[in-house]
Structure 1
Amino acid sequence: MNFEKIGMQVPNILLPKKGTDMQRWAVIACDQYTSDKGYWQRLTQQTAGHISTLNLVFPEAYLDDADTEERIAAINQTMQSYLADGSLEEQPPGFILVDRKTTAVESRKGLIVALDLEQYDYTEGAQSLIRSTEGTILDRLPPRIKVRRNAPIELPHIMVLIDDPQRTVIEPLFEEQLETAYDFELLENGGHLKGYRIDQPEHIEQIVTALEKLADPVAYHEKYKVDGEVMLYAMGDGNHSFATAKAIWEKLKQEADDPDQVMSHPARYALVELVNVHDSGLEFEAIHRVLFNVNCVHLQQQMKTFFAARKTPLDLTLCSDYQEAQALAKGSTGVHVFPVILGGQFGVCRVEKPEYTLTVATLQTFLDHYLEENPSARIDYIHGEKAVTDLGRKTGCVGFYLPAISKHDLFKTIVLDGALPRKTFSLGEADEKRFYLECRKIC
């Protein structure tokens, strides 16, 4: 069943066969713990001898290893095997209602659906029904495209947000009598996950009707006080995975012999988890930055020169520890202030008369310039202050601590200003991310 008005399809979800050890089946998103191979090595040990989504994804911690092609081939072969030997079983058309408990929140609610890639556009200034919340880093797509290009199935860590302050779409479903699809503890401090089947016509109709009301143009224009096309969905986590699915879909259309027939191809849709931005269990966390292979003295000089040239002077105050840096960074207005750690030394950067609304935009503009001028340097986007501190203490490393944005301002900001700077926010810390579980055929 397809609902073009709201860009949604009722999918045939694949779940592991009965009797599967679900704790070892589900693993965290591939773009987490990118500088911590030890985490992924532990997962390998914990899932050994079991069917697992770990065998179906490419952890980005290994992207620079020499065995990339072999790893991708093994992933695709394992996908074929799981389909052929019955490890994955196709469910009747329907959604999965998700209830996730983490170490930080008692409950975060979501709904697994398939969204129409025809109604998604990640380019700047897009007016599509589904939009990016952050800038898409195009050079992050090729490795993901290689994995998905020959993949017979998809499995998402994508979380897509809806702006539903009255809680009309997802939350009422928890009042219904629903069949449990799974219920288990997650690995590596991931919390607990419970899923319910949504396959009854009345429940599907209830969801569609609520989404159609959110997408009503009159109500939308009144809500945001703007003209232009309706934005119903905003990318939360997994923007680059969704953009990868879009790139593959566009290529399929270009190569199709019959343009009309290809429009019914399963790769037109991508499986995601919808989450209400107003869910009390949804937390926005900052995404910090760490630079590697840098000369800290040279970096400081470059920062001062860069911001002085833009008439937004930067001042760096050294501190004895992170707590002092945090204290100095609080309470400033009209300036952008962010703590740093340079080769083990804490400090606070203060940028006067900033050009941008968000602190992350001020910093990222400099980092983009610095990385272009210094190709030997490398950047990573880090969840959690402790990880930034641990990495920033190492020789040749610099960590930047950034503030979180308000989730209640997200939709209006995207509608009015367009996509935010890349890696502006995160939906929780690393161990709160969506775990791979549900799958779907895409060929």
Structure 2
Amino acid sequence: MDKRCTRVPHIIMPKKGTDLSKWAVIACDQYTSEPEYWQETERVVGTAPSTLRLTLPEVYLEEADVSARISTIHQTMQQYVADGTLYTLPAGFVLTERQSGGAHPRRGLVLAMDLEDYEYKAGSQSLIRPTEKTVEERIPPRLAVRRGASLELPHIMILIDDPERTVIEPLFDKKDSFETLYDTDLMQNGGHITGWFIPEGDETEAIQQHLEALCDRDAFNKKYGCTDAHALLPYAVGDGNHSVATAKAYWDEVKQELSEAERADHPARFVLVEVVNIHDESLIIEPIHRLLFNVDVDDLLDASVAYFAKHGCSAELAAAGTGKADEHTQVFPFISDKRCGDLIVKNAPYSLPLASLQAFLDDYYASHADAKIDYIHGTDVIEARGTQPGNMGFFLPDIAKNDLFRGVIFDGVLPRKTFSMGEAHEKRYYLEAKAIVK
């Protein structure tokens, strides 16, 4: 790889003595249907300095006073800098360890990434890519918050596929040699997080070299069974993709007014992220099943066989439990009040089963306006509701961690709601900030 995607940022933190349990607030795109969560957060924070004052919970995006809220956010950012609530660290990374109730902590590395190496459009060949489809309609309201802001706060998780654990994990063997930057409980069932500061120098240079090694072309081709025709994918956006897309849209606006020299190091060009190894034991990747409403089961199943035949595959319907998946065969168990069984597809159009199924469902729904779909995490819900008259459920297979990157490499950006990664309370809390203006 002849280009370095990462940068060593100047991270901004609240001054010593700040109550970090009130400062740190969960990502703004969580609990969007639960205003009571955010009301309780308001109560907990009170008048204390908090990232709640620097972000806009998306539960309020449709409120009449959203413009006033955004203006207040921008003013508070400036106030926190001016009155010393915030201070800027020397250049460096932050090593993080988050306990959120599971058997294993989540371990990550906070650094900056170059938005010139990110693209979310279909067919993107960029080094940083989303794992799932970006809904462009979600960008403008977020862009309204970023315009006029002097700071950004990250809840973006960037995944690396590092099965040998060469980048992040070895740093914990020497964490005691790093300064503890924060060590705090997180409000509202968020668990506990610790961060260690790694100043710019030999250590950060070594980290970046290890990241670049993940893109060795020969090793990449061998890992995924691909050729030089496939674009390298060292970094996949696992969470917060619409935040990255918004940062990209903002940078595309800002850079129009800059010279080439000014573009090279402008702070808006780089976005603050947490890099996490997809093989981290804390990351549980679960499939999201499909629950269908207002469908004629026989018609839909017949349409599925016809669809896959039209696209160069062979598909058949078989008794439940008889389908056996392998590298050439994808199996989709289904359930309804009329019949249950397996939809078996051979030589499917996509390497990830969910992408194959969703491609068919998108095609079917385009000509069946009354049909509806919901995305369900648990099999018990599919079993309970999929057997109700007019309903139907498809069970999706587990997703191997290696297959997530492989799916993006071979199939492109995955369909929305392909997988889930952690419960709402496990999502990233805002702690660090970075300037996005000179």
Range into which the TM-score falls when normalised by the shorter chain: 0.7 to 0.9
- Cα 1:67–1:308 change in 2 (3 A) is farther
- Superposed CA deviations along residues 106-131 of structure 1, whole A, max 9, x for unmatched, are 31110001000111111222221111
User: Would the aligned equivalents of 1:237 and 1:426 in 2 still touch at CA under 8 Å?
Assistant: no
Classify the secondary structure of the residue corresponding to 1:131: strand
- Cα 1:306–1:241 change in 2 (3 A) is farther
User: Would the aligned equivalents of 1:256 and 1:262 in 2 still touch at CA under 8 Å?
Assistant: no
Aligned partners of 1:13 and 1:212: how far apart in 2?
22
- Could you tell me which of 136, 151, 154 is aligned with 2:152? 154
Classify the secondary structure of the residue corresponding to 2:295: helix
Aligned partners of 1:398 and 1:194: how far apart in 2?
45
- Could you tell me which of 390, 408, 417 is aligned with 2:411? 417
Classify the secondary structure of the residue corresponding to 1:166: coil
Number of the residue aligned with 1:41:
39
- Superposed CA deviations along residues 53-100 of structure 1, whole A, max 9, x for unmatched, are 122222222223222222222222222222222111110000000001
The gaps in structure 2 that reach 5 residues or longer are 308-319
User: Would the aligned equivalents of 2:14 and 2:86 in 1 still touch at CA under 8 Å?
Assistant: yes
User: Would the aligned equivalents of 1:160 and 1:235 in 2 still touch at CA under 8 Å?
Assistant: yes
Q: Which amino acid aligns with 2:267?
A: P
Q: Which moved more, 1:262-271 or 1:76-85?
A: 76-85
User: Would the aligned equivalents of 1:13 and 1:94 in 2 still touch at CA under 8 Å?
Assistant: yes
Number of the residue aligned with 1:129:
127
Aligned partners of 1:387 and 1:155: how far apart in 2?
36
User: Would the aligned equivalents of 1:145 and 1:244 in 2 still touch at CA under 8 Å?
Assistant: yes
Number of the residue aligned with 1:261:
262
1:278-317 matches, within 5 Å, as 278-287=279-288, 299-301=294-296, 308-311=302-305
Match status 1:274 vs 2:275:
yes
Aligned partners of 2:212 and 2:22: how far apart in 1?
38
Classify the secondary structure of the residue corresponding to 1:198: strand
The structural deviation recorded for 1:352 is 6.1
User: Would the aligned equivalents of 1:383 and 1:430 in 2 still touch at CA under 8 Å?
Assistant: no
Match status 1:337 vs 2:338:
no
Match status 1:59 vs 2:61:
no
Number of the residue aligned with 1:430:
424
The structural deviation recorded for 1:165 is 1.4
- Could you tell me which of 223, 229, 232 is aligned with 1:230? 232
Match status 1:218 vs 2:222:
no
Aligned partners of 2:240 and 2:361: how far apart in 1?
25
Classify the secondary structure of the residue corresponding to 1:220: helix
The structural deviation recorded for 1:245 is 0.8
Aligned partners of 2:154 and 2:429: how far apart in 1?
8
Q: Which amino acid aligns with 2:222?
A: E
Q: Which moved more, 1:94-103 or 1:366-375?
A: 366-375
1:28-427 matches, within 5 Å, as 28-176=26-174, 177-224=177-224, 225-228=226-229, 229-253=231-255, 255-287=256-288, 299-301=294-296, 308-311=302-305, 334-337=330-333, 353=345, 357-359=352-354, 362-363=357-358, 366=361, 370=365, 404-427=398-421
Classify the secondary structure of the residue corresponding to 1:285: strand
The structural deviation recorded for 1:257 is 4.8
The structural deviation recorded for 1:193 is 0.3
Number of the residue aligned with 1:440:
434
Q: Which amino acid aligns with 2:129?
A: R
Aligned partners of 1:385 and 1:40: how far apart in 2?
29
Aligned partners of 1:407 and 1:178: how far apart in 2?
30
The structural deviation recorded for 1:385 is 7.7
User: Would the aligned equivalents of 1:329 and 1:338 in 2 still touch at CA under 8 Å?
Assistant: no
The structural deviation recorded for 1:384 is 6.9
The structural deviation recorded for 1:355 is 6.6
User: Would the aligned equivalents of 1:306 and 1:366 in 2 still touch at CA under 8 Å?
Assistant: no
User: Would the aligned equivalents of 1:312 and 1:355 in 2 still touch at CA under 8 Å?
Assistant: no
The structural deviation recorded for 1:137 is 1.2
Number of the residue aligned with 2:317:
none
Q: Which amino acid aligns with 1:270?
A: V
The structural deviation recorded for 1:404 is 4.6
User: Would the aligned equivalents of 2:93 and 2:200 in 1 still touch at CA under 8 Å?
Assistant: no
- Cα 1:185–1:215 change in 2 (3 A) is same
The structural deviation recorded for 1:188 is 1.4
- Superposed CA deviations along residues 372-427 of structure 1, whole A, max 9, x for unmatched, are 9769x9988677789999999xxxx9998865522222122222222211131232
Taking every aligned residue pair, what percent have the same amino acid on both sides?
A: 47
Q: Which amino acid aligns with 2:333?
A: V
Number of the residue aligned with 1:321:
none
Classify the secondary structure of the residue corresponding to 1:203: helix
